[in-house]
Structure 1
Amino acid sequence: MKLKHLTLASLGIIVLSGLLLAADHIDAPSTAGSTADIADFFAFEPAEGSANTVFVVDLQTNVLPELAYGTFDEAVMTEINIDLDGDLVEDKVIQAIPREGIMYFFLGEPDQTGLSSRVLTDFPLGMVSISGTTATVETTDSGVKLFAGPRQDPFFFDFFQFNAVIGGMAPEGFKTPEEATDTFDGANTMSIVIEIPNELLGTPTAQNALGLTVYKTWVTTNRKS
């Protein structure tokens, strides 16, 4: 097994996946403007009764609306952590690692948990191109679908009105959805998407607010030490 030591750079919000959404744009100064900065994490079934789970990680970077593609930082590994026994410690991890125009995906049981991770190459899930001008989705023989590249920011937020309200400059308060301006319209994030059969992950044991059995999952980014 090829091992590389990485240290934790940024921690995404913990979610129980059924369909829960989290938005956290621009983290600590050391991660802002790079793909170490986690913006959103989504986890859901692609269809009712499906035996697959979809994970979407949006990473913040300086991707302008008029640019077709941004860049994944090759010093950063994105890791989707999955807790199968309810102790809030990852039992399975999906790792996404960019190298020379390719995003490589791996699945494994971590030999380190918490603030440090190692690249686990025993179970490669597949790879997808992250260069060129055409976004592609790869489907592997094991039924895993992979994507990595820019996508429009899904976060709807009237940033300027929010600042006005917080600063006491907008006594009328927040605007209605029809009146509000989406400050992030046209902005992009660098997205990593994987649809994976549940049989590769293990049996989910958590329950969400709707009483559905789901995976307890969170995302981290790790930078090479």
Structure 2
Amino acid sequence: MSHHFDYPTDETLDISDAYCFAGPGDRHGPRTVFGMNTSPFGAPTWNAAGYYELKIDTDGDYVEDITFRATFPTGSDGVQHVQVEQLTDAAATDRTASGTIITPPNAPIGQVVECSNGIKLFAGPRLDPFRNYIPYPVTTTNCLAAGTFPDFASLGPAHNDFANTAVRSYVLEVPVAITGHRRVHFWATTAYFDTGHNIWVQTQRAGKPNMTTFFAFATGSAKVPDYNSTAPTIDLVGRPAHPATAPASGIWGQVRDNIAAVVEAGGTYPDFPHSFPTARAYGAWAADALLPNVIGFTPGTVALWDPWCDIQNGKGVIEDIASNIIKMIVNQDFSSGLEPGPLLDYFPYLSPPPTPAG
């Protein structure tokens, strides 16, 4: 539930989630699944003029070394197909650059496609795999903005508001020969070309859950406008040398100070297992755990994202990530109690979309 509430005017470019986990290895080594879900409110098509990008940093500097850029051109018969380019090195950061096309001609939407270099692709409608009870993130966002502490017990009983809803998924399964064996950083973006200004405009950036939902809408002197348009390298700008005590700015400062205000209001900052002498010190720990807003993953390992328990390795589609991000905000154990929906045990792992009534 990364982005369900920060959707742009053009819903086709709305990222609802990004995820990264291990696929089944083969005799050549591990394989990693990278994906994004878009259009959570039922946009009928992909944006034929937009870019849907999966970005991978392989050397630890939070700058993409590989970009898998998907586009969805429409043929003369009005049918969309999918094309994926692989861009590397400097080209991976440049939306005006061209890369190597890894898809066969006229690759179909809604089917598994075998691409170059052993990469698998799926782009099409799927059942939304993530679960959440909307009052939980809405209340959390309001508390971050107001500096108050949430009363989740008063909001139940919880149910999954995303049950039986469809998204458009863009998923790749990539061999380790392409990513390398070392830990990678992953995030997803969408973009469109602004003809009036002759420039590509990044519409959204997704990594860890709810970051733009919680902090792009929260108010405060440190607010960073249009956080979705930025890159991970900006996420630590404004972090002071003494993060637990000194004034801070930028998105890092906003995350620290918004969280600090919540745990100050709830009096939870000294609580076990993350006991800190001040609310600001807890907020600094949380900001360091949540930023930069990328998903770190070591190929071939088990994915689990629960930073309150000091675990950040990938982000799967079965985890209760909505609860895990709330733990970071309140410094308390928390669970929505919601069960995961059905998944496949083979690529693309996400289940087919709901069957229309009638």
Deviation string 1:139-171 (CA, Å, 9 cap, x unpaired) is: 236322111111111221111466579699x78
Match of 1:24 in 2: 3
Q: For residues 7-156 of structure 1, what are the structure 2 equivalents within 5 Å? A: 23-27=2-6, 31-47=8-24, 51-63=30-42, 70-100=44-74, 101-111=80-90, 117-121=95-99, 123-127=100-104, 128-130=107-109, 135-140=110-115, 142-156=117-131
Matched residue SS, 1:142 = helix
Per the TM alignment, residue 81 of structure 1 is displaced from its structure 2 partner at its CA by: 1.1
Q: Return closer, same or farther for 1:202/1:46 CA change in 2, 3 Å cut-off.
A: closer
Matches of 2:25 and 2:45, distance apart in 1: 34
Q: Distance in 2 between matches of 1:171 and 1:53?
A: 36
Aligned equivalents of 1:190, 1:138: Cα separation in 2: 16
| CA distance in structure 2 between the partners assigned to 1:171 and 1:78 by the alignment | 35
Structure 1 residues 160 and 153, CA gap change in structure 2 (3 angstroms): same
1:220 aligns with 2:189: yes
The equivalent residue for 1:173 is 154
Instruction: Tell me the SS of whatever aligns to 2:117.
Output: coil
Question: 1:218 is aligned with what amino acid?
Answer: W
Counterparts of 2:123 and 2:136, CA distance in 1: 33
Letter in 2 for 1:145: K
What is the identity percentage for the equivalent residue pairs of Structure 1 and Structure 2?
A: 25
Shift in alpha-carbon separation, 1:113–1:102, aligned structure 2, 3 A: closer
Structure 1: give runs of 5+ residues left out of the alignment.
1-21, 65-69, 207-214
**TM-score normalised to the size of structure 1?**
0.67
TM-score by length of 2: 0.44
**Number of residue pairs the alignment of both structures matches:** 179
| Cα displacement (A) at 1:94 | 0.8
Bigger share in helix: 2
Q: What's the CA shift string for 1:172-195, capped at 9, x where partnerless?
A: 4343xxx42111112111110111
> Paired residue for 1:189?
167
Secondary structure in 1 matching 2:23 = coil
Residues 182 and 32 (structure 1), Cα distance of their counterparts in 2 relative to 1, 3 Å cut: farther
When residues 186 and 171 of structure 1 are mapped into structure 2, their CA distance, relative to the original with a 3 A threshold, is closer
Larger Rg: 2
Runs of 4+ in 1 over 4 A off after TM superposition: 160-168
- Relative to its length, the structure with more strand (as a share) is 1
Structure 1 partner of 2:199: none
